[in-house]
Structure 1
């Protein structure tokens, strides 16, 4: 049975294959682009003089760059009082120029930590961002300056959310702090994804197969002038190969020989025993 294609269908198939070829070549031939390094200057100022800042802290701050465009807030009810905490990464969260984390109660704003005195460190799947030099306590912690600590935990698939207040440690004479937590994929460890040799070989193989089919089709269509199924490259060869493969599979996988006699056969005359000749001479009159 032969397939009959009209000119419109053939033109659609031709354009589809041309588009696929262009797209595939653009993917295969475009050189791999290296990841661009973000050199944006953050407003955060690490503790100590600039020459004393560690490269590790600078790298961690640079890692937080995508969060600088976001603002976070959370409400906390303590007895009759309601506080709102606002937080920004290396940016002003309230009216204070350097106030990276502030507490508001009605119209009163208290700076919990300033980003011009920043300390940062990390673990496997978390980053701790510390803002120091907040407003001083009135009666607690020897009236020292407040400190805000924000634990950024790993959560894949999100840039930043779930910012909330954990608690305040102010029962000590010194080193009191406010503790917050939030989730972000920024804190997740990098997963190095390298293609194995087998994956590379498969990609190359299927790319060559696709090029062979598309280029061969265009050659048969535009140069040879083939129509219908004959436009596929080496159509007769692949057709014969498919038939031979089917025959080989049939020969190898068949559960019984092709010419084996059936298990049940009818009884023929040649299988019947010889009948004894009946004598009827005793029936004749004497």
Structure 2
């Protein structure tokens, strides 16, 4: 009797394990797969969009497109789990897989993210029968997670590299931290030079004062390092500035001298004294 009760339990456990493994495989197959490991950092940017979809209608050609973000959309009329973008009629009849999440390219800039799905269904007549491709430009829009999705164009009049081009706004593109750092961030070269100079000056002053006070027993202003040099430095600087910048020297006017003054041995100082004596 015990054996009869254990058998259904074992079958149920086996079924749950198989179902769990199948679900994990399906989930792995439906997620974005990139060719370069360096692109994984960009996949983290669109993680909040994972599992979400948007629908875009092309009224001119009577098509509707369902766009997913790094997770299969489980398209109508298809068993493919890795379809990233699918094309429908307006009556919701599935037509083509435009791109697959298992063939993903992704890159990002300051306020945009570029997502591409390749390996869609083959063209029948256009683009030399190559596989369809969907490119999705996710532009910065802080107003929402997915805003204003549009089909920009279906570029299928080329010989190769044809694409369905979509654009959608999203706040995730506004918080892109993997792009190049802004030039206004951080400390510039000038700031580093100023900090270095101030640090050296402070160390010179502190260590100099401490040495002269505790080792040379200096007092007052004599504690300042190289006090004689810095005292004369200001005067020398002023003299140099005066010599370089003041080109026109003052010319002192000379007073009239008589013909015999030089014979009398009167110098200029004595002459000035003579000029201030009262006349009678």
Task: Find the structure with the greater CA-based Rg.
Answer: 2
So what's the TM-score if we normalise by structure 1?
0.48
